[in-house]
Chains A and B, each alone.
Chain A
Amino acid sequence: MQLITCPWCGPREETEFRYGGQADLAYPADPSALDDEQWARFLFFRDNPKGTFAERWCHDAGCRRWLRAVRDTRTYVFAETGPYGSFPRRSARPERSA
């Protein structure tokens, strides 16, 4: 069982965390502008690299905050963790609808 460093709580047991999949896949600014294939890629396709991978984790049984982590999928070793949103994201956030 690994230790994962929560940016707010420090190193904590892996079982306190929930995995949230690949990071930096922002919700498209305007989903209606995407064709079916583009939308399907957002919905269903995820990277699966052998090596460094940016991931989302949630400190579920702790502070309940989401964090962003960079982990090596070969060794499981976490290179870094930080607050979610503290790293640049690939595409823009959706416009506020009100």
Chain B
Amino acid sequence: MSRVDGYGRIDRTRTLAFTFDGVGYTAHPGDTLASALLAHGVTTLGTSIRLGRPRGVMGAWTEDPGGLVQIEEPFPEPMLLATTVDVVDGLVARGVAGQGRLAEVADTARYDHRHVHCDVLVVGAGPAGLVAARTAARAGLDVVLVDDRPTPGGTLTGTETVDGRPAPEWVDAVVAELAAAPHVTHLQATTAFGHYDDGFVLALERRGEGSDGGARARDHRIRAGRVVVAAGAIERPIVFEDDDRPGVMLASAARDLLHRHGVLAGREVVVFTVDDSAYAAALDLRQAGASVRVLDGRSEVPPGWTRRCAELDVPVEAGTDVRGTLGSDRVRAALVGESRREVPCDLLLVSGGWNPTAHLFSHVGGPLRWDPELVAFRPAGELPRTTVVGAANGTYALADVLREAGGEDAPTAPPEEITPRGMLWRTAGDPARQFVDIARDATVADIARAVGAGMTSVEHVKRYTTIGTAHDQGKTSGVLASGVTAELLGRPVESLGTTTFRPPFTPVPFAALAGRDRGDLFDPVRTTAVHAWHVAAGAVFEDVGQWKRARHYPAPGEDMAAAVLRECAAVRGSVGIMDGSTLGKIDVRGPDAGVLLDHLYTNLMSTLKVGRVRYGVMCGNDGMVFDDGTVLRLAEDRFLVTTTTGNAAHVLDWMEEWLQTEWPHLRVRLTSVTEQWSIFAVAGPRSRDVVGRVFGDVDVSNDAFGFMTWQDTTLDGVPVRLARISFSGELAFEVSVDAWHAPDLWARLVAAGAEDGITPYGTETMHVLRAEKGYPIIGQDTDGTVTPHDLGMSWAVSKKKPDFVGKRSFARPVATDPQRKQLVSLLPTDATTTLPEGSQIVALPDDGRLPPPPVPMLGHVTSSYRSAALGRPFALALVAGGRDRVGEVVGIPVGDMLIAAQIGGTVLVDPEGARRDG
């Protein structure tokens, strides 16, 4: 055990049990998996991804490139850092070989989103962040303070003093003041992982396993008036041979393990540094009972620190360096200096200086500049809404940090001596064994290869070597790679810069980003007022946009093909009923309503008489069909426009766009009434009888109620609209009623049709019936490259109107090309094959075999069904120059076969239109 009494913020009165690689261990609340394993002397956690070399903990927190684990219990999660996993009772984890595996079971935990607005967001609750938050809170501002570690204080470990008090006491006092302040939200274990425009920051709050039934994590979406980045700094290693061996650790990590978790990571410690800060680690570990030796790469060592080292029997050697390590799974000696003298150790601490954690400044475009005194890249320049303070800004001395963050309100700390920092990227040695990114097994030799291949940009070197692309995103290796590259190129590091920092700062589970928007809540489901009836009737549903539409109603033992044939036969033979409530409906009202519709439809709508219905086509400016539907004139100044189900919102947007941006002088108002009105199609030769039975007051005869007219009536005082509209070619009525009364009216129509065998039919049957009549479905038979003329609908294009949307494009040469693809029917000559929709159409060679590619394509099949009325399969297709090819036989590759099919006109059933009026 390397637990030290008197150190750490762990609860030693309670013991937790966990297993790692199948072995049981104990821990205390406050332990991470890393600290608990190190407390038991477990230093090797896994192996590396490419070379299979042993890997252990090198950093104390999210910067650690080495200590990856797979969690099995309480919930399987791949590739977490042992340093960031809080031990809970029953935790089961194991080491990984560089890579974890995703859980094979669904994550049942809850994840939440929160939208937060504040005046000031402070990121980091170290000395800088605490002072900045306190200053803002005292000014009466709305403050959010987030910090990624479980407890506040940052690098204040207990040996520092602030305002003359021990640092932990000062931290507790500030936290208490913030807790008492109104308008302050303070969240620990919350990582601000992305900073976006206009003060928008995403932060992930880890809340443990939700024993209270709450969310495992919350994604806070914070919009802040000002963002204060007080995220600290990350220590930088120095590259030497076999620097990836477990037991080689950042000096700050060892100090952190001691003060947070009471773990002494080694008993025989060598500290290799070019920065004063590592001396604090050396002295702390010495005082905790280790033997410590400092090797300073600088020729000038800090006199004050050296004196304190001497007092504690810590030898300091100046102007020397570590060239390599010895050991197997764990370091056993450092190889020191030119002579590679063996200095025995079980822990080799390294400090090459510090990199300001300026990621959140960079995310929003903040530039970084090389500071030769700091030997680091630091924020340079101003950004609106963003301030960087403390170590994140390159301000390291505690007294300076406090002053920078707190201004006049700042607490004080004793001054510190500063010896000039050394710049040391790597020591002399074999480049192939000098690891720069130990998470990627990438060495100085890899960088040399990139440079040898001619790369001079760190962005290119990163992609070539993969340095900085692992779970840690190069928190320790990124700047190091810049430095090594600069050295190999013989250029100053400032001319290379760093690679771009992009969110997320730390890995974020997709489940947390998804929050509750999963399963049923992923996307809204829209159902019609009669949905329950369809369900009870055994309907099979299909998704049309967000709508659930009944596709067919299979009888026992029927498959879809059989059900659809039966439903089709019922409509053409007697009567069927379909729920068409999902059709888009737009109420167009105002004195200029007719003018607007004349602009947007290809045909004239303003001449439509009240009481009548007209079919219309809408095109874009490019002349391509984009929607169709019927238009009812309800009054001189009022129309009801119907749209296809999937396009309802687009059509409304389209109409609004023209109204607002081009013709704001038109006095028209648009209202979506899609969900207000339910519509049922009652279709078939017996439909008149059924409708007449239910609406005894209405004269439903052809003379009194002609095709493409509508009438309002009431049923038991409920307003109902009837219209003679047919999408099947049969005698048909559309019955409209408000959604509330829809289930009742549907039931009455079904009951009234019982003696005629009224058959509910779904969208698949509707598709077959309309295709038999050659009615296109926009979006199925068209694809945004089809004009009304291509569809054979020149009759729906006005020649009288001086202009309408799309008209000018009909005169473009491309629109009048006789070789454009035109809608035609196809009848497979074998009278048995149902052509797959989307099949390509080619010329049929004499031998009936598909020639080797390339084979010119003539078009493709857009709709294909079996027809009850025709007693055979048929299809609609877009075929180049199709109308001139009627009678021709073409080939359609289906699997290994080439199916022959004859081109025909689009109307295959009742071409005379004799069935329309019953």
Give the B-binding residues of A (Cβ under 8 A). 1-3, 14, 18, 20, 26-27, 30-32, 34, 36, 39-40, 42-43, 56, 58, 60, 64-66, 76, 84-85, 93-94, 96-98
Contact = CB atoms under 8 A, between A and B. Distances in A.
B802 interface: yes
Contacts of B808: 31-32, 34, 39
A37 to B, nearest CB: 10
A64 to B, nearest CB: 7
Given A98-B594, A98-B598, A84 B661 contact: yes
B694 interface: no
A39 B803 contact: no
B198 A66 contact: no
Contact of A39 (B594, B595, B653, B809): B809
A20 B198 CA distance: 22
B196 A66 contact: no
Nearest to A36: B812
A39 B812 contact: yes
B803 A36 contact: no
Contacts of A98: 592, 594-595, 598, 606
B851 interface: no
Nearest to B807: A31
Nearest to B621: A43
Given A3-B198, A85-B664, 12 more contacts: A1-B197, A18-B653, A20-B657, A32-B811, A39-B808, A58-B653, A64-B656, A65-B660, A84-B661, A93-B663, A96-B663, A96-B666
Contact of A97 (B595, B661, B809): B595
Contact of B803 (A26, A32, A42, A43): A32
B871 interface: no
Contacts of A60: 653
27 contacts: A1-B197, A1-B200, A2-B197, A3-B197, A20-B661, A26-B662, A27-B621, A31-B803, A31-B807, A32-B802, A32-B807, A36-B813, A58-B657, A60-B653, A64-B656, A65-B660, A84-B660, A84-B661, A84-B664, A85-B661, A85-B664, A97-B595, A97-B598, A97-B599, A97-B803, A98-B594, A98-B598
B622 A43 contact: yes
B662 A93 contact: yes
Contacts of A65: 660
A96 B801 CA distance: 11
Nearest to A30: B803
A2 to B, nearest CB: 4
Contacts of B802: 30, 32, 97
Residue with the highest number of chain A CB atoms closer than 10 Å, among B196, B198, B653: B198
Contacts of B599: 94, 97
A1 B665 contact: no
Contacts of B622: 43
Contacts of B666: 96
Interface residues of B, number: 32
Given A34-B808, A36-B813, A76-B197, A56 B661 contact: yes
Given A2-B197, A31-B807, A93 B801 contact: no
Interface in B606-665: 606, 621-622, 653, 656-657, 660-665
A94 B662 contact: yes
A27 to B, nearest CB: 5
B595 to A, nearest CB: 5
**Which 9 pairs of residues, A with B, have the shortest CB-CB distance?**
A31-B808, A2-B197, A3-B198, A66-B660, A98-B595, A1-B200, A27-B662, A66-B661, A1-B196
A16 to B, nearest CB: 13
Nearest to B622: A43
A55 to B, nearest CB: 12
A93 B661 contact: no
Nearest to B805: A27
A31 B407 CA distance: 65
Contacts of B662: 26-27, 93-94
A43 B814 CA distance: 14
Contacts of B803: 30-32, 94, 97
Given A32-B802, A43-B809, A96 B657 contact: no
Nearest to B607: A98
A75 B511 CA distance: 32
Contacts of B665: 93, 96
Contacts of A1: 196-198, 200
Contacts of B811: 32, 36
Nearest to A44: B622
Nearest to B656: A64
Contacts of A27: 621, 662
Interface string B64-88: 0000000000000000000000000
A71 to B, nearest CB: 12
A38 B653 CA distance: 27
B185 to A, nearest CB: 20
Contacts of A76: 197
Residue with the highest number of chain B CB atoms closer than 10 Å, among A3, A14, A18, A98: A98
Contacts of A31: 803, 807-808
Given A31-B807, A32-B803, A43-B622, A96 B660 contact: no
A2 B198 CA distance: 6
Interface in B142-201: 196-198, 200
B83 to A, nearest CB: 31
Residue with the highest number of chain A CB atoms closer than 10 Å, among B666, B802, B808: B808
B520 to A, nearest CB: 21
Given A3-B197, A3-B198, A96 B595 contact: yes
Contacts of A32: 802-803, 807-808, 811
Contacts of B595: 96-98
Contacts of A97: 595, 598-599, 801-803
Contacts of B606: 98
Contacts of A2: 197-198, 200
A30 B808 CA distance: 9
Interface string B774-816: 0000000000000000000000000001110001110111000
A65 B606 CA distance: 26
A57 to B, nearest CB: 11
A24 to B, nearest CB: 10
A34 B657 CA distance: 23
B609 to A, nearest CB: 15
A96 B598 CA distance: 10
Contacts of A36: 811-813
A42 B807 CA distance: 14
A18 to B, nearest CB: 8
A2 B664 CA distance: 29
B195 to A, nearest CB: 11
Contacts of A14: 197
A40 B813 CA distance: 11
A36 B480 CA distance: 60
A75 to B, nearest CB: 8
Interface string B659-686: 0111111100000000000000000000
A64 B670 CA distance: 12
Contacts of A43: 621-622, 809
B711 to A, nearest CB: 27
A32 to B, nearest CB: 6
A14 B595 CA distance: 34
Contacts of B223: 3
Contacts of A66: 656-657, 660-661
A32 B594 CA distance: 22
A83 B592 CA distance: 22
A89 B728 CA distance: 47
A3 B224 CA distance: 11
A26 B664 CA distance: 12
Nearest to A64: B656
A18 B595 CA distance: 27
B899 to A, nearest CB: 39
Nearest to A84: B661
Contacts of A39: 808-809, 812
A33 B813 CA distance: 16
